[in-house]
Amino acid sequence: MLTIKLPQIFRVHQVPRIFWEDGIMSGYRHPKSSALDCVLSSFQMTNETVNIWTHFLPTWYFVWRFLVLSSSLDLCREPYHWPLLIYLLLVCLYPFASSCAHTFSSMSARARHICYFCDYGALSLYSLGCAFAYGAYAMPDHWVSGVWHNYFVPAAAFNSFVCTGLSCYSRFPELERPRLSKVLRTAYTRLFARRPGFLFASHLPKPRAPGRFDYIGHSHQLFHICAVLGTHFQLEAILCDVRSRRAWLRGRLPAPGLPSTFGTAGLALLGNAAIIGAFTAALPRAPGSSVSPPGVPAEAGRCRDP
């Protein structure tokens, strides 16, 4: 009979400092887990399990919404819907990237950095997707065709580069200068990426009761839930504008073109990928990138329950 042994779980003092989370004392996975162990760990209770599922399940909800809308709207052939198409694709991307980041971040310190680099890039691109939708359908009447409206999406594309760069850089000083790291990441989360920054920055309720919210109820899980709910209601509002303002907008704006929609989105994707690549290449200088886990034998490799 085939049996699957789930990976062993560790306490905070048994893993390198780069893996520590504020106020979380247990539930850590092996810091040199295999890809299979990372996948298996999503089916046991660790301090990342709820983080994984609170973005993995919503990914498929947004994919379902995308497929339903594709059957009722001509997203590909109707230029009016191209900004909506870009927004929907990026709405599906960011929770999936986040879920993957939380799943595979325990493979090594280097893998942890790369996973979250990709997570930051996906979130920055999602913010650009929001700009496409807002610029095309939700811009206030008196701003339509104005200077700010004309540069709204290009400015958002540039902003995505700034966001990804700042957030990737924030991982480098997080051991030596944790406050600077937190300031940079909080600014990215709250000011640029339009996420609920208070939960991200405060870590509540973990600091008030260390160890009590290791598995369920800590701030990052609440952050995920609020982000998904916010995206759901944002999507509903955008769809309302798409339908109700179509005639008014088409009388005042030219049809979106390929360069201003897919061209801009493609350049932003390539630019963010280049930024992630540059920071990945600089990882040998990142803190904890080659640290062996204290309290865990180096030869343990894929540590299993007895």
* Residues in contact with 2: Cβ distance below 8 Å, sequence separation at least 6, in sequence order: none
Asked, for residue 3, whether it belongs to a domain, the answer is no
Q: Residue 218 — very low, low, confident or very high, per pLDDT cuts 50/70/90? A: confident
Structure tokens at 296: 């865990």
- Provide the pLDDT for residue 5: 79
Q: Which residue matches tokens 């700010």?
A: 148
HEC string for 87-105: HHHHHHHHHHHHHHHHHHC
pLDDT tens for each residue of 170-213: 888 876 666 666 666 666 565 545 555 655 555 555 556 677 88
User: Is 17 within a domain?
Assistant: no
Q: Would 24 be classed as within a structural domain?
A: no
Q: Which domain, by its residues, includes 268?
A: 32-284
Q: How far apart are CA 86 and CA 162, in angstroms?
A: 20
Q: Which of 180, 178, 149, 135 is nearest to 17 (CA)?
A: 178
pLDDT tens digits, one per residue of 255-302: 999 999 999 999 999 999 999 999 999 997 655 554 444 454 443 333
What pLDDT is stored for residue 6 in this prediction? 82
pLDDT given at position 189 = 60
* Model confidence at 126: pLDDT above 50: yes
Enter the tokens of residue 93.
């991307």
Query: Is residue 73, in this structure, part of any structural domain at all?
Result: yes
Q: What is the pLDDT of residues 104-125, one digit of tens each?
A: 999 999 999 999 999 999 999 9
Taking Cα atoms as reference points, which of 192, 232, 219, 260 lies closest to residue 62?
A: 232
Among 152, 127, 122, 140, which residue's Cα sits nearest to residue 260?
A: 152
Element (H, E) at 10: strand 9-10
Q: Does a structural domain hold residue 289?
A: no
- The pLDDT of residue 190: 53
Q: Taking the model in full, what pTM does it have?
A: 0.86
Tell me, yes or no, whether 305 lies in a domain. no
Q: Which long-range contacts (CB under 8 A, 24 or more apart) does 18-22 make?
A: 18/109, 18/112, 18/174, 18/175, 18/287, 18/288, 18/289, 18/291, 19/106, 19/109, 19/112, 19/288, 21/47, 21/206, 21/220, 22/203, 22/206, 22/207
Contact indicator for 14, 36 with CB cutoff of 8 Å: no
- The backbone torsions φ and ψ at residue 29, rounded to the nearest 5 degrees and listed phi first, read -85, 165
CB 29 within 8 A of CB 41: yes
Q: Does any domain span residue 16?
A: no
Helix or strand or coil: residue 29? strand
What is d(CA 77, CA 68) in angstroms, rounded to the nearest whole number? 16
SS3 state at 218: coil
In a domain, 226, yes or no: yes
**C-alpha span between 188 and 119 (Å, rounded):** 13
The count of structural domains within the chain is 1
Q: Which of 50-54, 202-206, 243-247 has the lowest mean pLDDT?
A: 202-206
- Residue 10 main-chain phi, psi, to 5 deg: -125, 160
